[in-house]
Amino acid sequence: MDAKRSGPLEKGTESKKRKAPPTGTDAAAKSRPHNNNGRSTATTGTTGTTAPAPTAGRFGAKRVKFQDARNIRTQPADAALEDGKLDLQKFLNAREFEIKALEDSMRKCKSTNASRVFQQVPRALRRRTASHNARRVPKRLRERAKREMLEDNTPTVEARKRRPRTTRARIRAETAKKLGILAEKKKKRLLQKAAAAAAAADGGAALPGKEAKIMVDTRPARPKIRRDALNEPPKAQSKFRKRQINKTWLPTHLWHAKRATMTEPSKPLWRFAIPLTPTEKCYRPTHRAVGQKGVVVWDASYMSTIGLYGTAEGVERVLKALGLTQESLWGARGQKWRAGVRKWTGLVSKPIGGGGSRRDIGPATIVWNPQAPARSDDGPTTTETAAEAAAASTPTPPKKPQRQLLIRTHPSCFLELFEELLKLAKMQTPRLHIEDLRFEIGSIELTGPASTETLLGILQPYHTKSDNKDERHLRVFQSLAGVTNPASLPKDAVLAFSVQDPRLSYPPRRVDSSSGGPAGALLETLASWPLDDGGVEPFDIFCRDRRHEASRLPSQKAINRRKGANAPGEPLPVTKADPPVPVLLLASRPSTDGQAQGTWTLLAPWKCVMPLWYSMMRLPLSTGGNPRLGGLNEQRQIAFEHGAPWFPADFPATDAGREWELEQRDKRRRDWDRRPKGKRIEWNSLDLGAGRKGEVGDGLACDFAHLFALCAADVSGGGPPVPVSNSSLNPQAIGSSITDGAAAMEIDPPTPAPAPELSEKTGPTSGPGATQQPLAATAPTTGGTATGTTAGTAAAKAALGLIRHVPKPTFTSLLAALPDLGNPPAKCSLITIHLTFVTRGVANTCARIYRLPSRKPGAAPPVPTLPSLPGVEGVEVFATDPSSLSLSSSTAPASTTKSLPRDLGDQWLRQLPQPKHSGFTRGAQRPQLGRSRGPPRMPAGIDMATRKKLLAQSIVATELPYPPPKPGDYSHNHSYNGLEMSSGGGAGGGGHQHHPLCPGEDDLLGFVTSGAFSLSEGRGTAIGSISADRALEAIRDAGAKTGKLCVVRNAGESVGWLARWEVV
């Protein structure tokens, strides 16, 4: 025991410790005698107990501090024995001392804990400034944070007491103070003036100040929505107005700005400040929340909404002009869609030029408003009053039925679709009208097993049974408790009803999964779907008056005052000051994977999105936790894992996809230029094997212009140029189109291609053996760097504008017509595919997609032979490396590059994994699709001629590797039969050793637009676009199964990997 801290025992009584701590400087100053073991000891006080000497230095002092806090002092029980008798008082004092020592040690351990208070906050709430500002931590931890900062002498930050340090900041602070004083004086003067006016009107009775203030404040005016014209965004608050000069904030911007990475202030995305991704790591948690448990929520208010209304016949003609010509939409099968109980989602298009050619605009969702009993010609109306019903009873001439619908589209193609709709609406008689509802209707999207539970927790009904309000949609929605996948609902189901302000029941409570009734009733509801029998009232969200009324929500201060007068924990009752909030729920399912999670889309008035969002993010889920925040990257990740293309990145055949590709191309080029030369890819020196040097096309882009220039070269010989809208595309047509586009944009046209020349280093610059250059590179650069870049961008934009998209049904019909293809697609047509790697490999954006090389029918390649060997005359032996043989002049190519192995397609087919067999086969060998494990043995009982032939083949074959490859090792590609023995290094040095070479430029199919490792598939997948005609050729030549095999090579790499593609 320490001398400074005496125990309850008498003087001279020894006390024992479990581990006696050092006593600091006193113990260190004493002599340290060495014991028999050579260890130094320190004496503590008068007890004579030894302890290890403290370690000098900073870390030693810290270790001493923790060791002293964790030591618990005890006393032996025999100290209370005296002459064999137990002294009860001493025994109790000893136990009391031990209890106090235990409590003191627990208190010291807690105070000397290594974790600070800002480190105990959940990961989602941690902030960098929390270590210097106590206001950044939760209220329950602020006092402890202040105490820790005071003990550690941490420099604290008080935002409200921060003084300006520069002259400019001081002047701004003084100016703000003066402006605040002037504003207060002006407000006081207006209040006095209003009070005087009210007093004069009431006969001299002056109003108190608070009532006069109420008279000064006025309700917000009803927003004016212009027909057939674009509308302005909502007027921002004065303190935030300067930040929204060139962009618009989402309703939840202030919430997202603290928790997510936003777009750059000077570079908005689609005229909005959009959250890109949460600040915390969320890639794998997002995958788990979507597929296993939880829900991912993101604010999709940036999606644009257009209102279209007019006669039913005119609306039908407009929609058919946008490409909605399917018989299923306008026949009996489309009755539910036209009745407003279903939605339609797909691509809309517009006609381009003549000949029936069309170009896609982008994806759109169309929802009809159920037909009302009576409509006026002026547009949307409210519910009928008694006077209107009486007036409607008088005989009037019959009017054409008026219909109204909402078109929800992506903001990148909004302007293009709005202009097309405006043009089509003006052509109709009677004329239709459109409205820009971008800032009238906001939206929230939810996906995950708990998405339905989240909506049930925050959407409380507004109307009760006593209101006599027909809320069939609401009753059906409340019966969906227990649904874990929105895809289980009828496809494209629609629900519309009115809910109350979610702030009245804030914070939300966990939803009881048994509130929806028995499981049998839920299955019956999903199977029958009671809303399909008709009789649905018009949706309130289509009515402008209803939307404006819902936007006039009470202030948060008024809600807080009502909560203060209400019982704690009880929801507030609905009053006349709480307007109903009309909502529209859209259920969707992924079109590619039927087992994947569906999505809920919640449409609500723009100003009602923020209260819904706050309640949604605070809802406790039954599986634990809260809904997860998602951004634009998470939305793209979910679409990628579902195998669906994401707009606009995976739609290069649209104007929005073209703009996205050009922006991303410039971004990748800036990143490439920023890297030092030693750490960036040199595209011209890339070795692809077989003497091929340089990347195919532009390595930083999905160079579809280069792809279609190759396609044009395939068909240019022999026939006249064919127009783009009919079947093919030739270089002359491309050049003329670019020249016309350049003249329209007042830029210099591209220079014509030079005559074929042979370069000493790179071979021919034009001709069949030359490397084709992209069209964007043909723009002149004589006007300087800026002019050359502008011209190159304009040329690339014009070239990408010639691309067309072939839908999946059209391509399927073309496959059914093989091999006789009477109406082939255009050479500039693309199909969107989903790639799945067979074994290894992960594709990145801009990766090249090749088809497997195959021999053309009727064009057998020459078989080079080796000189006659002694004893094997007349035996034909195939060469392993064609580059080592001297070809005849009649078969030598025009270029100086080495040719690819003739069996390259077979080499790639051997990359397929071996099929697993359940049992052993006797008497015959099982067919093997993989690599052979060793050289074949000499068969027994063969003649001498065959023995000589096999011996010659084994002599010319490549030597066996040492050590031999392990069974199942797919990193090598050896064949020991002498017929195919090529490797990446043997044919020119490109790629990995013993790995098949990538096919040539003639086999280029397309490019990857999105690629990564898919957590849902457990392998690499990708979304890409390939040429439609080359895909048909591959399937026609190799069959439906082998023709869909391809080789994917990342840009800047020489190794490709085998994959299989499917049309989406």
% of residues, the chain, pLDDT over 70: 69
Dihedral over Cα of 1034, 1039, 1041, 1047: its sign? negative
pLDDT (tens digit per residue) in 390-442 = 444 555 555 778 899 999 999 999 999 999 999 999 999 899 999 999 999 99
Give residue 264's pLDDT: 95
- In whole angstroms, give the CA distance from residue 773 to residue 763: 14
CATH of residue 337's domain is 3.30.70.1400
Query: What is the spatial distance between Cα 276 and Cα 300, in angstroms, rounded to a whole number?
Result: 12
Mean pLDDT of 770-781: 36
Contact 71, 19 (CB under 8 A): yes
Residues 494 and 626 reside in one and the same domain: yes
Q: pLDDT tens for residues 112-144?
A: 666 778 777 776 666 666 778 887 788 888 898
Say which residue the tokens 């949706």 belong to.
Answer: 539
- Report the range of poorest mean pLDDT among 157-166, 297-306, 321-330, 730-739: 730-739
What is the reported pLDDT for 948? 86
The pLDDT score that the predictor gives to residue 940 is 75
Please state which of the ranges 503-512, 523-532, 764-773 shows the lowest mean pLDDT. 764-773
pLDDT the model gives residue 25 = 42
Partners of 605 in the β-ladder? 441
pLDDT top residue among 103 and 785 = 103
Flag whether pLDDT at 968 surpasses 90: no
Q: Is residue 902 part of a domain?
A: no
Amino acid type, 949: K
Say what the pLDDT of residue 991 is.
Answer: 46
Say whether pLDDT at 55 is over 60: no
pLDDT value for 129: 66
Are residue 617 and residue 470 in the same domain, yes or no? Answer: yes
Match 């009789």 to its residue by tokens: 535
| pLDDT at residue number 355 | 74
Do 772 and 843 reside in the same domain of the chain? yes
Mean of per-residue pLDDT scores for the chain: 77
CA-based nearest residue to 916, from 925, 933, 908, 928: 928
539 is a domain residue: yes
Distance of CA 222 to the CA centre of its chain: 37
Phi and psi, residue 574, nearest 5°: -80, 130
User: Same structural domain for residues 364 and 282?
Assistant: no
SS (H, E, C) 493-537: EEEEEEECCHHHHCCCCCCCHHHHCCHHHHHHHHHHCHHHHCCCC
d(CA 741, CA 734): 11
Split into its structural domains, the chain has a count of 5
pLDDT at 449 > cutoff 70: yes
Q: Look up residue 21 and give its DSSP letter.
A: P
Quick check: is 6 in a domain?
no
Worst-scoring range by mean pLDDT, 195-204, 298-307, 920-929?
Answer: 920-929
pLDDT of res. 952? 84
| Amino acid letter, 26 | D
Q: What is the dihedral of CA 694, 695, 701, 704, to 10 degrees?
A: 110
* 1005 compared with 514, residue with greater pLDDT: 1005
Q: Which residue, chain included where needed, has tokens 């997202």?
A: 256
pTM for the whole thing? 0.71
Number of Cβ within 10 Å of residue 383's Cβ equals 13
Mean pLDDT of 879-883: 39
93 versus 917: which is more confidently predicted? 93
Q: How confident is the model at residue 83 (pLDDT cuts 50, 70, 90)?
A: confident
* Higher-confidence position of 146 and 819: 146
Asked whether residue 463 falls in the same domain as residue 599, the answer is: yes
The mean pLDDT value for 815-841 works out to: 88
Cβ partners under 8 Å of residue 345, min gap 6: 363, 364, 365, 366, 492, 588
Decide if 974 is inside a domain: no
Asked if 599 and 446 touch (Cβ cutoff 8 Å), the reply is: yes
pLDDT value at residue 134: 83
Q: Is the pLDDT of residue 279 over 50?
A: yes
Task: Write down the pLDDT at residue 219.
Answer: 60
582 and 676 belong to one structural domain:
no
Of the residues 111, 134, 153, which one is the last residue of a structural domain? Answer: 111
The answer to whether the beta carbons of residues 136 and 129 sit under 8 Å apart is: yes
pLDDT digits (tens, 9 = 90+) for 105-114: 888 776 666 6
- Confirm whether 482 is domain-assigned: yes
Co-location of 726 and 796 in the same domain = yes
Q: Please tell me the distance from the alpha carbon of residue 701 to that of residue 776, in angstroms, as a whole number.
A: 11
CA dihedral 841, 842, 843, 849 (to 10 degrees): 20
**211 pLDDT exceeds 60?**
no
For the cut 50, the answer to whether the pLDDT of residue 772 exceeds it is no
Domain holding 100, by residue range, is: 25-111
Contact at 8 Å (CB) between 853 and 904?
yes
Are both 719 and 749 inside the same structural domain? yes
* Contact present, 71 and 105 (Cβ < 8 Å): yes
| Same domain? 545 vs 665 | no
Determine the Cα–Cα distance for residues 580 and 1004; give it in Å rounded to an integer. Answer: 58
Q: Is residue 823 part of a domain?
A: yes
Share of the chain above pLDDT 90, in %: 46
Structure confidence at residue 465 as a pLDDT band (50, 70, 90): low
Domain co-membership, 539 together with 665: no
Write down the pLDDT at residue 922.
43
The pLDDT value given to residue 591: 81
Mean pLDDT of all residues in 283-311: 95
Average pLDDT over residues 913-932: 51
Q: Is the pLDDT of residue 732 over 60?
A: no
Q: How confident is the model at residue 496 (pLDDT cuts 50, 70, 90)?
A: very high
Q: Pick the range with the lowest mean pLDDT from 31-40, 190-199, 851-860, 892-901.
A: 31-40
Report the pLDDT value the prediction gives residue 769, as an integer from 0 to 100. 37
- pLDDT above 60: residue 920: no
pLDDT for the residue 757: 40
**Residue 15: Cβ within 10 Å count:** 22
- Read off the pLDDT band of 658 (50, 70, 90): very high
Tell me if 807 is assigned to some domain. Answer: yes
**Confidence (pLDDT) at 751:** 40
In a domain, residue 451? The reply is: yes
In terms of DSSP bridges, do strands 433-436 and 343-351 run parallel, antiparallel, or are they unpaired?
A: unpaired
Among 147-161, 626-640, 748-762, name the most confident range: 626-640
Tell how strand 272-273 and strand 248-249 pair up. Answer: parallel
Q: CA 709 to CA 770: how far, in whole Å?
A: 12
Q: Which residues is 639 bridged to in the sheet?
A: none
For residues 422 and 449, membership in a common domain is answered with no
Of the ranges 54-68, 70-84, 252-266, 801-815, which one carries the lowest mean pLDDT score?
A: 54-68
Q: Assess whether 812 and 692 both reside in one domain.
A: yes
Residue 506 · residue 610 · CB < 8 Å:
no
β-bridge partners, 1048: 849, 1057
Q: Give 599-623 pLDDT, tens digit per residue.
A: 999 999 999 999 999 999 999 999 9
Q: Are 91 and 77 in contact (CB under 8 A)?
A: yes
Residue 610: predicted pLDDT: 96
Q: Note the pLDDT of residue 826.
A: 79
Could you say which of 111, 143, 172 is where a domain stops?
Answer: 111
Reported as type and span, the H/E element at residue 547 is helix 544-551
pLDDT tens per residue, range 221-230: 777 888 999 9
Amino acid type, 989: G
| Residue-by-residue DSSP string for 251-317 | TTHHHHHTTEEEPPTTS-BTTEE-EEEESS--HHHHHHHHHTS--EEEE-TTSEEEEEEEEHHHHHH
pLDDT band at 711 (very low <50, low <70, confident <90, very high): low
Q: What share of the chain is helix, strand, coil (3-state, %, to 5)?
A: 35, 15, 50
